[in-house]
Structures are given as structure tokens and as C-alpha cells.
Structure 1
Amino acid sequence: MNAVDLQVIEQIQNGDEVARERVIQHYKPYVINVAGHITHKFVTWSDEEASIALLAFNKAIDTFDATAGRQFLNYVYLLIKRDLIDFYRKEKKEAHLSLHLTNEEESTIEQENNQAMELYEKQVQTTELVEEILELDALLRQYQISFEELEQHSPKHKDSRISLLELASLIAEDQECTELLQRKKKLPITIIVKKYGVKKKTLERHRKYLITLIILTLNRQWEQLSQFVKKEGKS
């Protein structure tokens, strides 16, 4: 759920608690990131600021009015900021927060929220990339390959990397080659040489790297890792 579905918000406001829990779980990383962004400190779920931010998110769900012309996440950011300011005022805690939310500051909410969203998205992408690398590493070990050794088996020249990316795409579409690869856990070098005219020495030299590219092409759910590898391959 990259964008909030207004129909889902309406369902929650009409009493759908299952939908509420799903939305809360999805946006919890965003909520805690916003709390940290506003307070200029690292916030964990054991901190009061995190609880206040989550309550504000819940309040935003209940009170959001789609006809008011605001984006939902901008509204969330505004409520979290107001509640955190109120919390610091009551607790008389030191913070780099203005204790008054002026009209001018309200007008900058969208800009602040965009900054928080950008940081959040980068954090999510990093987390997803790490998780995908772990999944890939587990699969590669079935082929006697470890993720750590790929760098030493990758081609040094850009043209070679691009050629192997293109070859991996062709092989991934080749049912005979992919079935043999997945069943025997070995690159069907003889068949690839005959079908695609690639030199046997090239395949043997870059066998582990090519197998990895084929596996990535076959597992399109690893979006972050695929983009990372393609970017590296063309740079």
C-alpha cells in the first residue's frame, strides 16, 4: 500500500477494525520515522514520542475528511507534530520544537512530510534490499555459490556485464535451460553454447555470476536487488 486508499479509510471510519490494524501495521515504520524527524532524535517504540505519534495516526484515520482538500499523510504529519508539541509543552521537556504551530508552519507541513517520506522510503528500500540479499544467498547456496564471492566472479568490463545481463534474460525465458539449471543446480553450458553461440570459456569463467543473474531474473519479487544489480551491471 504505497498510497492510502481513501475507500479503506472510509471503511475504517465505518467500523472495520481489521482494515485499521492492517493500515496501522503498514504505516508503523512511517509513523516512527516522522516522530524522529519532528523531534530531531532517534525514536524507538519504547519512547513516549512513538506512542504519541501512533495515537495521532489513529486519530488522523478517525478524523480525516477527504473533502477538505488535504493529502492523508500530510494530515497525519500535522497531527503528529501538534501532539508532540503539546506533549513537550505539558512535560516542559527540552526539544528543538516550536511550541506554537503558526499558519506559516502549517503551510510547510507538506514539505516537511515529503522530506520524512523520502527518508522513510530510503530506509524501507535498504531494509528490503538486505532481506532480499539474505533470501538470494540462501538460494545460491543450493548452487554452491555464496553472495560474498560474487564480486570476484563478476566481469570487470562494462560491456561484458551488459552482455551477461542480456544473456541471463534470454536463458531465463528458455524453458529447457531453466529446468536443467533448477533441477541439476548447474549451468547447462553445452546447450547454451549451441543455442546462443557464447564461448564455453566465457561461460565457465563467469558461471557463478551468470547463474545469479538468471536466478534474479526468475525471481522478479526481489525488486530492490534486481534494480541494484542492473544498475551495477550498467555502470
Structure 2
Amino acid sequence: MLLSIIQGIFKSKLNMNELVIRAKAGNEEVMNDLLFASASFLKKTASFVCKRPIDEHDEEYSVAMDGLHEAVLAYDHKESASFQTFAHIIIKRRLIDYIRKEISRNEKLMLLESADEESSQQHYIFDKQSIDTYTEEQLANARKDELLSYNKLLAEYNLSFEELAKATPKHEDARKTAFLIAEIIADSTDLYQYLIDKRKLPLRELESLVEVSRKTLERQRKYIIAIVLLLNSEFTFIKDFVKGAASSGKN
């Protein structure tokens, strides 16, 4: 029944949000259609986290699907960014939890298998501290990779981290408003495409949508563009940090 809508589910975030609201309200048919239509998104997200190709036959895909289901039930369109961004964060966290558990389970199996192989036991024994350290190293590398990739993306728009540090609004209200404008652009197919094609903000359209002067929009241009690119990316660690900073009271 919803296939005509589902086919364009990730092309129109507005349609996505509407379907999520209906699924969260208890419509099982919509929930099943969402999970079915999200296969490409689930594979892409799981592959990004696991650093290898993931398909429907992998356990990680099932974990990602459970994460999407959880995201639907937890999503609040009034407080969160686009559902796809929110779901990506939840799925990534669930996959990281799964990876941690798998490392711990494999550790125990190694110990059991090596019980009768005393001579080679040293090759299999890993204490909890070493396992945690290895996992944290993986997370640290993931954060580093995100920063490098984000920096390259910004460079395509003649932006840099140094410029963003200077361009970030100093006052909390201004920061929140700029972040909201960025969310509006990221959630609109037309506005986002304009930014991608023209490499600049759709000022005329924004003026009719938000109560912010053109002068303010131009002054916050670099910050808004950087946030839009971030929101429609898979840089989850950076998103968590920036979203927290945007809503904090720190200047």
C-alpha cells in the first residue's frame, strides 16, 4: 500500500518523517515497509561502521535493522534532526556495542580452545583491559578518519576548521538559530541541492522561511554551510559533538 511512497523514502525526508511518526504510533505495516525500504541505508551505515561490506546475510545487518527499529520508536521530530541522521547515530551505537560483545565472546572462546594447549596459550589470552584498549583504539581511529574526511569535504567549499572556529556564532541564541537554519536546508531536497550545485546558501528562499535578515545569513554563511554538510554526512562522532555545542550555553 505504501510502496509508491517508500520508493522515494530517502529522497524526501519529509515523507520519511511522516512515515516514522505513523510507525511509532503503532502502525506495523508502515514499520515493516520502513525496515524493508531502508535496506540500502542499513547496508551503507553498517559498512561504514564495520569498515567492510555488509549485506543481508551478515549478523551486523540484523543489528543495524534492530537499531533502525529502536530509532523509529525513540525519534522525536520536534527535538531531533532529520530521522536519517538520528537513525544513523542509533545504529552506529548498537553496532559498536555488538562489536564490543563479540570481542569479549571471542576472548572467552580463545581461552577455552587453548586450555589443552598450554604451550601456545600466550597467543590466545587477552585480559579485559587489552580488549577495552583495542576497542577504544578502533573508536579513536574512527574519530580521526571522520575528521580527515570532513576536512576534505569542507575544502571543496573553500572552508577549513580554522575558519569555522572564527565563524561559529559566539552567543547561544545565534548558534541555535544558525543550527536550525542548517537543519532546514539539510532536510529540504530543493534547498540542499541548491547548496550542492551552487556552493552557496539559497538566501532568497531562506528569507521567506526564517525570521533572519539576509545580513545575518551572510554573516553566518560559513557556519551554516559546514553544519548542513555535516548533517547530511555519516560523521556521527562529529555530529554528536557539534549538536551538543550548538545547544550548550558555552560561548
TM-score range for the pair, normalised by the shorter chain length = 0.5 to 0.7
Aligned with 1:154 (options 151, 168, 180): 168
What SS does the corresponding residue of 1:143 show, helix, strand or coil? coil
The alpha carbon displacement at 1:87 in A equals 6.3
Q: CA offsets, 1:133-170, max 9 Å, x none?
A: 22222222221111232111111222322222222111
Does the Cα contact within 8 Å between 2:103 and 2:131 map onto a contact in 1?
no
Residue 69 of structure 2: aligned partner: none
Match of 2:240 in 1: 227
Q: Is the 8 A contact 2:182 2:227 kept in 1?
A: yes
The runs of 5 or more residues in structure 2 that have no matched partner are 1-45, 51-56, 60-98
Tell me the distance in 2 between the aligned counterparts of 1:72 and 1:207: 44
Q: Identity of paired residues, percent?
A: 27
**Whole-angstrom distance in 2 between the partners of 1:89 and 1:188:** 63
TM-score normalised according to structure 2 size: 0.49
Question: How far apart are 1:209 and its partner, in Å?
Answer: 0.8
Distance in 2 of aligned mates of 1:172 and 1:75: 40
Determine which of 168, 189, 192 is the counterpart of 1:175. Answer: 189
Equivalent pairs, count:
154
Q: Aligned equivalents of 1:8 and 1:124: distance in 2?
A: 20
After TM superposition, the score normalised by the length of structure 1 is: 0.52
Say which SS state the counterpart of residue 229 (structure 1) adopts: helix
- 2:208 matches 1:194: yes
| 1:16-165 equivalences in 2 (<5 Å) | 73-78=103-108, 113=128, 115-165=129-179
Q: What are the Cα deviations for residues 91-111 of structure 1, in whole angstroms up to 9, with x where unaligned?
A: xxxxxxxxxx9xxxxxxx9xx
Whole-Å Cα distance in 2 between the matches of residues 74 and 175 of structure 1? Answer: 43
Question: Whole-Å Cα distance in 2 between the matches of residues 75 and 177 of structure 1?
Answer: 47
**Secondary structure of the residue that 1:180 maps to in structure 2?**
helix
Alpha-carbon distance change, 8 to 170 in structure 1, aligned in 2, over 3 angstroms: closer
> Max radius of gyration: which structure?
1
Partner Cα distance (2:139, 2:102) in 1: 22
> Are 1:193 and 1:199, in contact at CA under 8 Å, matched by a contact in 2?
yes
1:125–1:224 contact (8 Å) kept in structure 2: no
Aligned partners of 2:104 and 2:131 also within 8 Å: no
> CA RMSD of the aligned region, Å?
3.8
Residues 180-199 of structure 1 show CA distances to partners (whole Å, capped at 9, x for unaligned) of 11111011222211222222
What amino acid sits opposite 1:163 in the alignment? T
Which one has more relative contact order, counting CA pairs under 8 Å at least 6 apart?
A: 2
